[in-house]
Amino acid sequence: MEAQSNSGNLILVIDDEEGVLDVIERFLAKNGFEVRTEAGAEAGLEFIRKNNVDLILVDMMMPGMGGLEFVRAAKDMKYPAEVMVMSGFGTVESAVDAIRFGAFDFIEKPLNFEKLLIDIQNAIKKSRLEDRIEFLENRIKSNIEFDGIVGNSTEFLKTKKLAEQISRTEVNLLITGESGTGKEVFARAVHNAGPRCGGPFMAVNCGAIAESLLESELFGHEKGAFSGAVARRTGHFENADGGTLFLDEIGELPMSLQVKLLRAVQEKEIMRVGSSRPVRVDCRIISATNRNLEKEVEKGTFREDLFYRLNVIELKIPPLRERAEDIPLLAAHFLRKLSNAEKTFDPPVLDDLQNYRWPGNVRELENVMQRAIALCPASLITSDLLPEKFRAPGEAPKRRAAYTAMNFKEAQEQMIKTFERDFIVEAISRNEGNILKTAEEIGLTRQTLHRMINKHGISPKEFKK
């Protein structure tokens, strides 16, 4: 092979003997490689922490950290370059140990430079092949995961593209958006398309678990830690080790637990309830919320330091009303998913669906499709199978025409009534049917909100998860 064909490949050589480093460096440079030399394993380890190399040659016997320890440390870092171990005290046991620790090959000194060149080229070729295979596997996984998320509108495609880019990293991710937009769907896709796809995906709804139980759910507990703790129990952090922990509705987390969550995220260790011994955990954190956490930080209800730890990258999921062109695609998707028989839409149905504001977003659309399919006796889904409140937005042009037949006061009263109902429905949907939270958010008393709910015939139960 011509020397120039090796151009651009950087090899790190680690040996405590200056003469050996000099000979190997000159040989490799002559054959077209770029070379970096270090006189000790610790220095070599520090170099690869900050730099990329294509191959590493390391001597087995050196003062301080030896070659085998270096191999183990490099593999623990999941460093992608192959490592070849050199030794002047070659034995079968030494070679076996080197390979067992993860080395690509074991090379005896004095070096046979002709054989060394072949071994180096094979190691780099293997590394390139594995890189290509990993790249193609990740591309396939990514395409499968994100192609399964339905939507072709411009903004939604941007969201999917960003999510696909994020999936290739392991940084903490905050997913924001209204209830029902599909935050958990995106979280699972990011996990399944990412480097931790082989590990578990654990989902926790921080707003659905009583505050008294939440600490144990997240961090686990020891036997006897509290009344009813009859055995040790591992929490979601430990169960997600090596994978992803999805913290849904993170804005609901009490301040008392935010401090403990910060430590877990920052130090990568947790403390079970009733224990004084920390437990190391390694999991990616994906959080989700329908709240504006920056405003919560300003109000003092969410810790600023925790917010920035969780929000390394933010992924905003647009509400369904902002991507009306996706509604027919989603409706057809749910029709295929939920129906055993061949069914189609009467064209006016799609108009009704697209004219509605969808306060419950994609989750609400799925529920509507499930209802229509259950009530449909034939193969054609018609408008009369939709609840009145979903058909009403399709009547908007008729309502505007009807206003012309009213006097000003009648038209004003009708518009106020329509506005009130739509506003209350969207607020209740955002808060998943929680009346108290809805009242606080929109600035009404609970009693006033109840009166308006009864006035407009709204059922909060329909918006609960």
Q: Are 361 and 318 in contact (CB under 8 A)?
A: no
Domain topology for 321-390:
Helicase, Ruva Protein; domain 3 (1.10.8)
Q: Count CB neighbours of 355 within 10 A.
A: 17
Instruction: List the chain residues with pLDDT less than 50.
Output: 1-4, 135, 140, 393-402
Chain region(s) in the chain for CATH 1.10.10? 406-465
What are the b/e assignments for 1-25, b being 16+ CB within 10 Å? Answer: eeeeebeebebbbbbeeeebbebbb
Beta strands (DSSP E) in 98-242 are: 105-108, 173-176, 201-205
Q: Phi, psi (5° rounding) for residue 284?
A: -80, 140
Predicted pLDDT of residue 132: 52
Instruction: Give Dmax (Cα) for the chain.
Output: 103
Which CATH number applies to 3-134?
Answer: 3.40.50.2300
Residues 264/287, Cβ–Cβ less than 8 Å:
no
Domain with residues 406-465, CATH architecture: Orthogonal Bundle (1.10)
CA atoms within 13 A on the CB side of 360: 20
Please give the pLDDT value at position 400.
47
Give the β-pairing of 10-14 and 55-59.
parallel
Residue limits of CATH 3.40.50.300 in the chain: 154-318
Length of the chain: 465
According to the model, what pLDDT value does residue 231 have? 87
User: What is the arrangement of strands in the sheet containing 34-38, beginning at the earlier edge strand?
Assistant: 34-38, 10-14, 55-59, 82-87, 105-108
pLDDT for the residue 6:
59
Check residue 133 and give its pLDDT: 54
Q: Which residue has the tokens 């890189």?
A: 131
Task: Confirm or reject CATH 3.40.50.720 for domain 154-318, answering yes or no.
Answer: no
CA distance linking residue 136 with residue 146, whole number of Å: 15
- Residue pointed to by tokens 């996984």: 141
Name residue 78's amino acid. Answer: K
H-helix or E-strand spanning residue 269: strand 269-270
Instruction: Give pTM, 2 decimals.
Output: 0.58
What pLDDT was estimated at residue 3?
Answer: 39
The ranges of the chain annotated as CATH 3.40.50.2300 are 3-134
Peptide bond into 110 cis (omega under 30): yes
CATH 1.10.8.60 location in the chain: 321-390
Concatenated DSSP letters for 90-139?
Answer: --HHHHHHHHHTT-SEEEESSP-HHHHHHHHHHHHHHHHHHHHHHHHHHH
Distance CA 88, CA 20 (A): 11
pLDDT at residue 264, rounded to an integer: 94
By the 10 Å C-beta count (0-12 exposed, 13-18 middle, 19+ buried), 263 is classed as: middle
Handedness of CA 6, 53, 195, 122 (dihedral sign): positive
- pLDDT given at position 378: 83
